[in-house]
Structure formats: structure tokens, C-alpha cells
Amino acid sequence: MGKKRFWLAELAALCLAALLAAAAHAEVTISGLSPNNRWFHTPAVETGMVTLSAAAPSGGAVIVLSSSNPEIVVPSTVTVPAGRTSANFPINGASYNSRGEGDVTAMYGGTSKSIHLQIDPGSDVRSVSVDRAIVAAGSSVTFRVELCGAAPAGGVSVPLFKSGPGQAYISLPVTLTVPAGQTTAETTVATSAVQAATSATLCANSPTAEWAMMGCVGNSSKTSVVVSPNGEMPLKGVLAMGKYTLSFSSAAATGAGWGINFKVSIPFSVDAPVTVPVSSSDPTIAPIPPAITIDPRKTEGSVYFFTNAVTATTTVRLTASLGGISKAVPVEVRKEAVVQSLSLSPESAGSNPVVTGMVTLDQPAPQKGTNVRLSSSDPGLATVPASLLIAEGSTKGTFNIAVSATAAQATVTIGAEFAGKRTTASLSVGQAPLTAGLKESSISAKRFSQADMASTIIIGRWAGDFERLSKAPDFTKRAQGSRDTKEYLAQAQARCDSMRLEVAKDTISLRMVEQGRIVSVLSGKYEILKDAPTSVTVRVTPGTLKGVASKASLIKGAGDRTVVLVLSDRNHLRLRVGNGPWDYLKRLDRAPDPRE
């Protein structure tokens, strides 16, 4: 009984293993087959690959292969080794001259995948060429044929043909043999005398194609040869188009600073670029490049360039020369507006992310406006648009300059150019010290008594707008007076947006403002330090200073220093903290304040 039970258990285990193996085998399917939609030539051999959805079982997976076209040959099976998911197999033609298309199918485990292939003989012509596209009559060129695949034993005889008006002047063999194992062959093509330049087409046909003996047809591989008396391509014609000439013609008109499109043509296309020398009768007005290149298999080429300013309407001649032939087009360049000036607001960007530029013309913009080209010497710090179009009838136009944040102070040159005239302006970017580059102004003497100063200047009678005298002209101090207090606001183009000086009857305070937020305050009582014939000096008593903030470099540590104001007259003052440099302020011309 025990042996019987053991035998039954062993039988059950074997059955279970067989079932599991069968289940594992059933789960593996074909997930991919490549390459698909491939076109290849004999005698090349393509590599196919079959991919499974999971690793092949023990003993491997035998994949059955088939081809729908006998010209496309594949093995009957390919085995994916155990534990692997893919295997490669060869795909080749039945013979060197195999031609056709069909499907290759892989089958396994009740699943299949198919790919579509096309095969053509290696004797098909891939390309033809000549060593010279333009040849002097009586000389010869070398004609070269390239096959898609290496020739078999005995070589491949390729049919040759010619066509075109110049075929009578071309001596071309009827066939060219490509030796066994080679893909190319060459032959010499002689030419005869011609009275004028002419063109011929040289063709090579695939020897096994249906159209092999039909001459130069659509499927032929072709190249062209120009035979001329002097061995040069002749010039056919020249045309130009400008602002006021909306199509190519034999005469054109444009405005100064506007473009000219100059086009040249040749009578024949060849499989090589053709360079046409061109020139201008006045390069200072119409600076055309020295040559125009006509691309291979094209008969036309053109160049676009801009004219420069003229003092009066002027006609220039654009000339092209090729093959001993020269042709010219007259182009009228009309005087139009040019750039007179370029201004920036502000000229020192500081923390401003945008600066406004203004271009002014010397006269109103003409029809279609004036397109001014813009530039920046450092686009990384100050970026400008490529151009500015000033509308017809206007003399001014504005544009925005995007300023990048930078800690270091730098100068960027902004340029505006039109009609060859370039105007520039300097833009200061980055943080500049508030007291940098100051120069004391010449002042007119006026005496103030202590009573005059207290009643006339300190308490709101010194109303007006004031500028800071520095190398940065956009650094201005604005003042608005009131009965009891006085504020001078410095719109400094720096990390600190402004400095505000408040003068009341008994105290003076300084405030540093950054991005609209007060970052430091310094205030204290003042005393008259000096009453001279040309100035009145006020000192803020050090012991009364309070609220000093370390972020404000101008007044950092001012609690231990003397803050001095020198009021020279109604139009000038200067400010100094400790032994630091002086800030010089000067009143701007303006209408009188009605409160004065």
C-alpha cells in the first residue's frame, strides 16, 4: 500500500510539472518582428529579428518563418534559445537579379507577426555624375555610373543614353560595364565644336528594369553637361526688386535703408553650384555682396541686401557677369528719413527691469514706415528687439529694453541703425554707489541768517525738484514742500530705490527705501554749525541719532558720526555722513510752487 501511494504522489508531481510547463509555453507569444517596410538590394543580406513576449522555455522556442514571394528568401525556422526573448535570421534575394515585394511571417504558439519587404537587383543604377558640369567644346568629361550593389561574376552592362539640344555634340558609348565585385565604372565622353552654349542630358538605366532600353525616361539616373565655346556657363538675365518695385523687373526703385533683391539666371541647370560675380556702381550706397551662388539643378539665384543713406535720390547700377556676358539693372535709391538720435529713459537702469529707448528721425517716416535695426553690445545684460518700425508720417518711435539683474556695475551700448547710419547711447546697469562720481557745482552766493534758514528753508520754503550732480544724469532728487516738513526724494537707479531726506523744524531724518519698503531710518536733532557768507551748515547731533539700519550703506554706523547738511542757497545743498563723500544737490528749473 505504501509503495502504491508513493507511486501515485510521484505521478501527480510529474503531471503537475507537465501542466505548468505547458502553461508556461502557452503564455509565450510573438510580440515583434522586424524590419518592416524595408527596401534593400542584392547581393546585400538583411537581418530579421523575431521577439517573444517572455523568455523562451526549456529547449528553446522554434519559430516558423515563411515568405509570400519566392524572390525574398528566409529560413524555414529560427530558434530562440531557452531563457532568451529574441533571435536573428537572414533575409536575402533568390538571385542577384531578384526584384519584387512581399510579406515575411513568423509563427509560434498560435500567434504570428508579419513584415513587408521590397527587394531589387544590385544592378539598379544608384547615381550618375560627371567630373565637370561645364566643358569647353572639343574637350571631354568623365562620366561615372554607380550601382546599388556590387556586380556579380561577369560584371553588369549598363545601358547609356543622351538627350537634349546638345546631344549631337556629345559622344557617349551605348553601354558601360561595371566589373565583378565593383559598384562603379567610368567612361570618357568627348564633345565637338559648338557656336553657342548648349546643354545635353546623360542617362544610365537599370539593365533589368522594364524601361531599360527606352532611352532617357523618368526613372533614368541623369546628369547634365553644358558645352560652350569658351568652357563657361553664359549669363541669361538679371532682375531686381525693391521697396517701390513689388516684382522683379529690369529696373527697380527702393528707399534708402531699405532692401534690394537682385536675381540672376542661367540658361541651363547642372549638378554643380554656379558662382556669378556681381558688383555695384556705388558700393557706398548699394553694398551688394561680391557673388551669387546658383544651387545645383537650379537656373536662378538671388541675394538680398540693404541700401545706405543718400543725400539725394540716386540711381546705381547692379551688374552680373558670367561666361563673357554682362548684364545690369538700374536701381533708384530714394532719399528717406535716417536716424537722428537715440535716447534712453532712464540712462542708468539700476533695479529697473525695463528701460525705454526712443529713436528720432531727421524727417517723417515715408510710406510703409522706417524699419530701424536695433542692437545691444551685451544682450545678456540688456536685450533689445531686432528692429523698430516707425510709422509712416512719424518722426519718433519707442522700444523696451529688458535689463537683467546684476550686482556689478557695467555699461551697455545700445545702437539704432538705418540706411547705413548708426547712432548709439550708453546704458548703465547694475548697482552704483549713491555717492559715486559727484562733482561740486558752482553756486551763486547768498547769505542766510539762522532765523532766515529756520523760517525760510527748513520749514518748507525750499520747494522744488532737485537733481543730484553726478555722472548719472537720471539720478534726481524730488522735493515737495509743506509748512512743517520737507522731503527730498532721490530716485537712485541702484539696489536702494530712493533716499528720502525729511527736514522738520526741530529734527532731520534720513530714510532708505528699497522696492517701496523703508529699510532704515536715521533721525536726530540738528544744530547750526556755520553761518558763512556763502552757506549755512547744519549738523545733526550724534547723540540724538537713532534707528540706524545696517542695510543702508550710506548711513551705516551713522549713529557714531556727524551728519552735516550745507544749504548754499535756495538752489543748492550738499549732504555728508561722517567723513564720507559729499552728495551735491541742485535745484531744477520749474514753475514756482504756489505754496512759496
Render pLDDT for 304-325 as a digit per residue (tens, 0 to 9).
999 998 889 999 999 999 999 9
Same domain, 531 and 473: yes
Same domain, 71 and 104: yes
33, 36, 102, 508 from 39: Cα distances, Å: 16, 9, 11, 90
Same domain, 570 and 463: yes
Same domain, 110 and 138: no
The answer to whether residue 263 sits within a structural domain is yes
The answer to whether residue 45 sits within a structural domain is yes
Tell me how many domains the chain contains: 5
Instruction: Render pLDDT for 142-163 as a digit per residue (tens, 0 to 9).
Output: 999 999 999 999 999 999 999 9
Provide the pLDDT for residue 485. 33
DSSP 391: P
Provide the pLDDT for residue 347. 86
Distance CA 64, CA 77 (A): 4
The answer to whether residue 236 sits within a structural domain is no
Neighbouring C-alpha atoms within 13 Å toward the C-beta of 478: 6
The answer to whether residue 534 sits within a structural domain is yes
Distance CA 291, CA 283 (A): 14
Cα first-last separation, the chain: 130
Q: Which helix (H) or strand (E) holds 79?
A: strand 77-80
DSSP 592: P
Provide the pLDDT for residue 511. 52
CA 279 to chain centre: 29
Same domain, 70 and 86: yes
User: Which residues does the chain have with pLDDT short of 50?
Assistant: 4-8, 11, 14, 17-20, 22-25, 432-499, 513-520, 532-535, 543, 545-560, 588-596
Same domain, 359 and 321: no
Provide the pLDDT for residue 445. 31
Instruction: Render pLDDT for 520-559 as a digit per residue (tens, 0 to 9).
Output: 455 666 565 555 444 455 565 554 544 433 333 334 344 4
Provide the pLDDT for residue 363. 87
The pTM of this model reads 0.55
The answer to whether residue 437 sits within a structural domain is no
Of the residues 398, 429, 460, which one is the last residue of a structural domain? 429
Distance CA 152, CA 138 (A): 36
Provide the pLDDT for residue 410. 86
Provide the pLDDT for residue 582. 62
Provide the pLDDT for residue 342. 94
Provide the pLDDT for residue 12. 52
**Residue with grid cell 548708426, as numbered in its chain:** 422
With b for 16 or more beta-carbon neighbours within 10 A and e for fewer, the 272-303 pattern comes to bebebebbbeeeebbebeeebebeeeeebbeb
11, 257, 308, 331, 388 from 254: Cα distances, Å: 101, 9, 11, 7, 19
The answer to whether residue 592 sits within a structural domain is no
Same domain, 84 and 143: no
How does DSSP assign 518-531, residue by residue? EEEEEEEEEEEEEE
Provide the pLDDT for residue 255. 87
Of the residues 289, 318, 334, which one is the last residue of a structural domain? 334
The three three-digit cell numbers of residue 211, written as one number: 524601361
Q: Which amino acid is at 468?
A: R
CATH of the domain at 43: 2.60.40.10
Distance CA 568, CA 444 (A): 8
Q: Which residues lie across from 327 on neighbouring strands?
A: 320
Same domain, 111 and 196: no
The answer to whether residue 476 sits within a structural domain is yes
The domain of 200 spans 125-228
Provide the pLDDT for residue 539. 61
Residue 445: exposure state from Cβ atoms within 10 A (0-12, 13-18, ≥19): exposed
Of the residues 300, 318, 334, which one is the last residue of a structural domain? 334
Same domain, 324 and 406: no
Contact indicator for 382, 429 with CB cutoff of 8 Å: yes
Same domain, 410 and 515: no
Same domain, 470 and 579: yes
Provide the pLDDT for residue 418. 85
Distance CA 388, CA 474 (A): 24
Distance CA 246, CA 513 (A): 58
Contact indicator for 236, 299 with CB cutoff of 8 Å: yes
145, 540, 560 from 485: Cα distances, Å: 97, 16, 25
Distance CA 159, CA 144 (A): 13
Same domain, 108 and 197: no
The answer to whether residue 18 sits within a structural domain is no
